[in-house]
Chain A
Amino acid sequence: MLRTALRHVLAQKTRLIQTVLAVCLGVAFISGSLVFADSTTAAHRAAMSQDYADISVTVRPKSAPVADADERYGALDDALVRTLAAVPGVGSVRPVADGSVTLAAKDGTPMRADSMRGKLGVAYAPGADGRDSRYPLVSGRAPRNGGEVALYRGTAAAGGYSPGDTVTLATDGPAFRKRLVGTVSTTDSRVTAGGTLAVFDKATAQRLFAAPGRYSSVDLTAAPGTGESELAARVAAVLPADRAEATTADAQATQQSVLISTVTRSYERLPLLFAVVSLFIGTFLIVNTFTLLVARRSREIALLRAIGATRRQVVRSVLAEAALVGLAASVLGFVLGLGVATALPHMLDTSGDLLPAGPLVIGPAPVLASLAVGVGVTVLAAWLPSRRAARGSLPSRRCARPSSRRPRRSPGSAAGSVWSRSCSARACSSR
C-alpha cells in the first residue's frame, strides 16, 4: 500500500505543489523560530558566561527599599573593600560603581529611549598598570575628572560623536554635559547586544550611581581552590547582615537567564503566529487538494473497493499519501526554516536590541516539532477527504461511469435519462 501511495504522490506532483508549499511555509516558520530561539538563548548564555567569567561573588547592598542613596550604599565603602580583600580565599576585589545612564545622540535625540536595559554607565577602574582591563581604551584616554567621559566605540559611532565633542547625558536627575575624551571596547553582552556604555572617572560614577565614596557593588574573584558558594559564605560572615549581601556568579547568571529567556520567547511569538496562520490556511488547501485528488481518483477508489479493499485500507492509502506529502513538505520546510532562523535577527534589529552572534543551534526538539506538526497537519486535514473517499466510493462509482462511456446511439432513449436520473437521485440521497 505504501508503494502505491508513493507512486500516486509522484504521479500527482503538480497538484500537490500548493499543499507542499503551505505545509512547507508553516513548518519553516515553526522550525525557524524554534531554532532561532535556541540559537539566541545559547548565544546569550555564551555571552553571559563571558560576563561572569572573572567574577565569583558579588556584594550588593541589601535590596530593601531605602530612600536615601547615602543610606542605601552606606555599607559599600573603601573600608569594606579592604575588609573583603582580607577574607581568606578572595583572589581579587573590584569595587564597581555602575548604573543606568541615558545618552543623547549628537542631534539631541535620546539613544535607546525605548529600552529600559543596556544603557550602562560605569566607573573607570585602572588596575596596577593604570588601565582598566574590562574597558580597554580604543582611542583617546580615560576620563580623569568630572568634566570628562569615555564612550563605548559602538555608542560613539551610533551617537555620531568623535573625541572632543560634548556629550549630553542624564541619569534620574537633570541632564548634564561632559567632554568626550576617549573610546573603549568591552565584552559586556548588555553593551555588545546594542546597548550604550558611558565610562566616567571613579568619583563621578560613585556620585551618579551610588553615593560619594560609596560603591554600587563589589565584585570578588575566588583564589584558586576556593569554590564560589564557599567564598560567598565566608564573605557573608564579614558583611553587615542587614545592609549588604553576597551572591554567587552562578546565581546571577541563572537570574539573567530567566530574564533573557523571557525576552527570547517574545522574539518567538511573531514567527509562531506566522506559522499558525500559514498552517491554518494550509489546512484548507490540504483539504481542498485531497478532496480534489480523491474525486479524480473516485473510479480508482471504487475499483479498489470492488476488488476487495476495505474502507480502512482506502482511508489508509489516502492518509499514507498525505503523510508522505507532509513528510516531504516538513523536511523542505525545516531547511527553509534554517534560512528563517538566520534571517530573523536582521528582521528584529529594529527593536534596538542586537542579538548576540552565534552558530545556529539545531536541537532535536525543533526537528521533531517540525516533522510532527507538518505530517500531523497534513494527515489530519486529509482525514476527512479520505473518509469521504472510502464511504462514497461504491454508489458514486456508477454515476462516474456513463461519462466514460461512448455516447449512446439513441440519445433520446428512456434508458439514458433513467440512468442519469437514478444517479442524481442517489447522489442527493447519499449526501
Chain B
Amino acid sequence: MPQTFTPAAPPATEPAARATALTKVYGTGETRVTALDSVTVEFARARFTAVMGPSGSGKSTLMHCMAGLDPVTSGSTRIGGAELAELKDRQLTRLRREKVGFVFQGFNLLPALTALENMTLPLRLAGRRPDAAWLDTVVATVGLGGRLAHRPAQLSGGQQQRVAVARALLSRPEIVFADEPTGNLDSRSGAEVLGFLRDSVRELDRTVVMVTHDPVAAAHADRVVFLADGRLVDELHAPTADAVLDRMLAFESHGR
C-alpha cells in the first residue's frame, strides 16, 4: 500500500505524539467554549501516560484532537512525525488505521462480529492479513485464547475491553489512545485491563496514552499529566494512587 504521509522512522528522541500550543474552541459567539487552551504536551515512546483531570477539563478533547478524530482550532498535533492538520480526511483515516490504536470507554466492539473479527477489523479495513505470530502474542498477552469465536454480548465487560486492547495493539500502532477504558468496569476487571495496557508497554514496547479520572487507574501509568479548565497544570512521574489523589484534591481546593 503506498503511503501518502511519510513518518520516515523518526529519531529515537522524537516522541510518539506531540501537541504544541493546541487550542480547541467549540461553537461561536455566546455558545463559544474553549475546551483546550494552548496545551503543549509530549508522549514519549514505549511509555504509559495517563491524562487526568476533572470532568470538563478537556482531557477527552485532548485525546480526540491528538488522535485526529477532531480538528484543532489552532496549534499543532503530530503523530510519529506527521502533522495532522496537513492531512486530508483519507490520509487521516489511514493514519488512524495504521498508526493509532483506540480503546474507548463503553462502545468498543461491533456486536455483529466475533471477538477475533473485532480484533482484526482495522487490518481488514486496510485490506491486510494479521501477522499470525503477533496475533498469538497479543491474544496471549490479553488472555483471550478460548474466547475468540464469541460475540461481544457473550463476553464480560472486562473481556470486551481486553478485546478492544488487543484490537488496538494488533496493527502495531505508533500510539494507543485509551479513553476511560476502565470507566464501565468493576475494580477487578479494571485492574486486569490496566495490567494488560501496562504489559503491552513493558513487554511489547507500545506507547499508551490513557484518559482517566480515576487515581487508581492513573497509578498504573509511568507518568501522569493533569489538565484543568483546558490547560496542562501539572505532571507526576512514577505515580502512586495516593500521590495522584493528593494532587487532585489540591486542584479542587485551589479551583474553588
Flag if B27 contacts A429 (CB, 8 Å).
yes
Scan residues 28-84 of chain B and give those whose CB is less than 8 A from a CB of chain A: 28, 31, 33, 35, 54-57, 60, 64, 67, 69-70
Nearest B residue (CB) for A425: B27
Contacts of B35 in A (CB 8 A): 422
A241 interface hit (Cβ, 8 Å): no
Contacts of A260 in B (CB 8 A): none
B26 interface hit (Cβ, 8 Å): yes
Distance, CA A66 to CA B43, complexed state (A):
104
Please tell me which one of the listed residues A4, A401, A415 contacts residue B112 in the complex, with CB atoms under 8 A apart. A4
Flag if A307 contacts B167 (CB, 8 Å).
yes
Flag if A422 contacts B27 (CB, 8 Å).
yes
A265 interface hit (Cβ, 8 Å): no
Given A421-B31, A421-B33: A307 and B97 interface contact (C-beta under 8 Å): yes
Contacts of B112 in A (CB 8 A): 4, 7-8, 11
C-beta contact mask, B121-162 vs A, less than 8 Å → 1, else 0?
Answer: 110111000000000000000000000000000000000000
Interface 9-mer from B1-9, B10-18, B102-110, B200-208: B102-110
Query: Considering only CB atoms and an 8 Å cut-off, how many residues of chain B contact the other chain?
Result: 40
Flag if B113 contacts A4 (CB, 8 Å).
yes
A170 interface hit (Cβ, 8 Å): no
Interface 9-mer from B87-95, B219-227, B234-242, B245-253: B87-95
| Minimum Cβ distance to chain B for residue A274 (Å) | 36
Contacts of A394 in B (CB 8 A): 69-70
Distance, CA A309 to CA B67, complexed state (A):
14
Given A7-B112, A306-B102, A418-B56: A299 and B167 interface contact (C-beta under 8 Å): no
Contacts of B122 in A (CB 8 A): 307-308
Flag if B97 contacts A422 (CB, 8 Å).
no
A13 interface hit (Cβ, 8 Å): no
| Minimum Cβ distance to chain A for residue B114 (Å) | 10
Flag if A4 contacts B107 (CB, 8 Å).
no
Flag if A425 contacts B97 (CB, 8 Å).
no
Contacts of A424 in B (CB 8 A): 31
Flag if B104 contacts A303 (CB, 8 Å).
yes
Given A4-B112, A303-B110, A421-B31: A414 and B56 interface contact (C-beta under 8 Å): yes
Distance, CA A421 to CA B104, complexed state (A):
22
Contacts of A179 in B (CB 8 A): none
Contacts of A425 in B (CB 8 A): 26-28, 31, 33
Scan residues 278-326 of chain A and give those whose CB is less than 8 A from a CB of chain B: 299-300, 303-311, 313
Main secondary structure of the interface of A (DSSP, over half): helix
B98 interface hit (Cβ, 8 Å): yes
A398 interface hit (Cβ, 8 Å): yes
| Minimum Cβ distance to chain A for residue B62 (Å) | 13
Please tell me which one of the listed residues A303, A414, A422 contacts residue B26 in the complex, with CB atoms under 8 A apart. A422
A15 interface hit (Cβ, 8 Å): no
A404 interface hit (Cβ, 8 Å): yes
Flag if A308 contacts B125 (CB, 8 Å).
yes
A426 interface hit (Cβ, 8 Å): yes
| Minimum Cβ distance to chain B for residue A427 (Å) | 11
Contacts of B198 in A (CB 8 A): none
Distance, CA A408 to CA B56, complexed state (A):
12
B231 interface hit (Cβ, 8 Å): no
Flag if A311 contacts B108 (CB, 8 Å).
no
A14 interface hit (Cβ, 8 Å): no
A413 interface hit (Cβ, 8 Å): yes
Distance, CA A175 to CA B89, complexed state (A):
85
Contacts of A306 in B (CB 8 A): 67, 69, 96, 102, 104
Contacts of B105 in A (CB 8 A): 401, 405
Please tell me which one of the listed residues A307, A313, A422 contacts residue B96 in the complex, with CB atoms under 8 A apart. A307
Given A307-B96, A413-B56, A421-B31: A4 and B69 interface contact (C-beta under 8 Å): no
Given A8-B112, A418-B33, A425-B27: A398 and B125 interface contact (C-beta under 8 Å): no
Contacts of B67 in A (CB 8 A): 306
Flag if B108 contacts A303 (CB, 8 Å).
yes
| Minimum Cβ distance to chain A for residue B29 (Å) | 9
Q: What are 26 A-to-B residue pairs whose CB atoms are below 8 Å?
A: A4-B113, A8-B112, A11-B111, A299-B107, A300-B110, A303-B108, A303-B110, A305-B93, A306-B69, A307-B167, A308-B98, A309-B93, A309-B97, A310-B94, A310-B125, A311-B90, A311-B93, A397-B69, A398-B70, A404-B107, A408-B55, A415-B56, A418-B33, A425-B33, A426-B27, A429-B28
The 5 closest A-B pairs by CB, nearest first: A308-B97, A415-B56, A425-B27, A7-B112, A422-B26
Chain A residues within CB distance 8 Å of chain B = 1, 4, 7-8, 11, 299-300, 303-311, 313, 394-395, 397-398, 401, 404-406, 408, 413-416, 418-419, 421-422, 424-426, 429
